[in-house]
């Protein structure tokens, strides 16, 4: 069964979507919509891996982790808002990466591949990496859930009542770096970012608790992956963008007034 490239693509995409669901919820709740872009623009990592002949996944993780820690440090100084800082870091790392690549005249990088990836080309090893990493990330999120959620509502409240919001936040950033390092080569930056944000935003309409929203975001992401891949097969469209379009369609469907009525009923009656 795994011999079929289409089945492998579905397995890889669903594994990624299940992982990004809960992470994406925190990104939305914390109003860090640029976060995916920032860490994902670890093209710098790609350049470094080529320059020093490092493992690509490891290099991307290191760059993403450094960017996360830098972000935490800068936010602590409260000079600029999170979104402004993310914008700066995102474009700075992208530009530095591109400049470095330009110096390496012996290297030719297919930028499109890193932006959009090729989910149809995933290997069995890639699938193992995505599922192994995904299970690790989800377990860590479950372990960090309470301090992360409390700190999202109010960091000082979390701190005063004995949780460690700073530590939870650092771990969260590192988990994001893990997800991006694993998935970037396989599915591309655009698909990671989309699978972080769009399913979580879609799930909001149907959720009455944060936990339900996290689970729904994972499931909605998985549905978008399967729907997008079948769409790409049927209409012969590029696979990555098709998944994003499928996620978008689900999001638009969630905005329809019929659901709104049901959500209000849930809010009052449940």
Contact residues for other proteins, defined by CB under 8 A: 28-29, 31, 146, 149-150, 152-154, 156-163, 201, 204, 207-210, 212-213, 267-270
Tell me whether residue 122 or residue 158 sits nearer to other proteins (CB atom). Answer: 158
Tell me whether residue 133 or residue 221 sits nearer to other proteins (CB atom). Answer: 221
What is the nearest approach in angstroms of other proteins to the Cβ of residue 25? 8
What is the nearest approach in angstroms of other proteins to the Cβ of residue 143? 15
Tell me whether residue 123 or residue 266 sits nearer to other proteins (CB atom). Answer: 266
Q: Buried b / exposed e across 211-242, counting CB within 10 Å, b at 16+?
A: eebbbbbbebbbbbbbbbbebbeeeeeebbbb
Which residue bears the tokens 């192994």? Answer: 132
Tell me whether residue 26 or residue 61 sits nearer to other proteins (CB atom). Answer: 26
Tell me whether residue 54 or residue 204 sits nearer to other proteins (CB atom). Answer: 204
What is the nearest approach in angstroms of other proteins to the Cβ of residue 233? 33
Tell me whether residue 257 or residue 269 sits nearer to other proteins (CB atom). Answer: 269
What is the nearest approach in angstroms of other proteins to the Cβ of residue 155? 9
What is the nearest approach in angstroms of other proteins to the Cβ of residue 19? 20
What is the nearest approach in angstroms of other proteins to the Cβ of residue 167? 15
Tell me whether residue 163 or residue 183 sits nearer to other proteins (CB atom). Answer: 163
What is the nearest approach in angstroms of other proteins to the Cβ of residue 157? 5
Q: Would you give the distance in Å from CA 163 to the centre of its chain? A: 25
């Amino acid at each position: 069964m795994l011999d079929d490239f289409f089945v492998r693509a579905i397995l890889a995409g669903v594994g990624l979507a299940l992982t990004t669901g809960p992470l994406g919820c925190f990104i939305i709740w914390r109003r860090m919509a640029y976060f995916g872009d920032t860490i994902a623009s670890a093209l710098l990592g790609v350049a470094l891996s080529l320059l020093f002949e490092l493992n690509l996944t490891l290099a991307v993780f290191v760059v993403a982790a450094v960017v996360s820690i830098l972000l935490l440090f800068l936010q602590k100084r409260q000079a600029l808002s999170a979104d402004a800082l993310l914008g700066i870091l995102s474009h700075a790392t992208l530009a530095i990466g591109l400049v470095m690549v330009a110096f390496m005249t012996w290297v030719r990088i297919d930028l499109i591949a890193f932006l959009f990836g090729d989910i149809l080309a995933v290997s069995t090893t890639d699938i193992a990496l995505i599922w192994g990493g995904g299970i690790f990330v989800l377990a860590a999120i479950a372990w960090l859930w309470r301090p992360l959620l409390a700190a999202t509502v109010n960091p000082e409240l979390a701190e005063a009542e004995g949780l460690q919001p700073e530590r939870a936040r650092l771990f969260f950033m590192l988990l994001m770096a893990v997800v991006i390092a694993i998935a970037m080569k396989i599915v591309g930056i655009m698909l990671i970012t989309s699978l972080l944000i769009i399913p979580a935003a879609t799930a909001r309409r149907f959720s009455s608790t944060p936990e339900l929203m996290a689970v729904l975001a994972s499931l909605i992401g998985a549905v978008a992956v399967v729907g997008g891949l079948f769409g790409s097969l049927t209409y012969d469209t590029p696979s990555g963008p098709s998944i994003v379009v499928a996620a978008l369609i689900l999001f638009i469907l969630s905005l329809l007034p019929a659901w709104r009525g049901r959500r209000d009923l849930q809010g009052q009656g449940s």
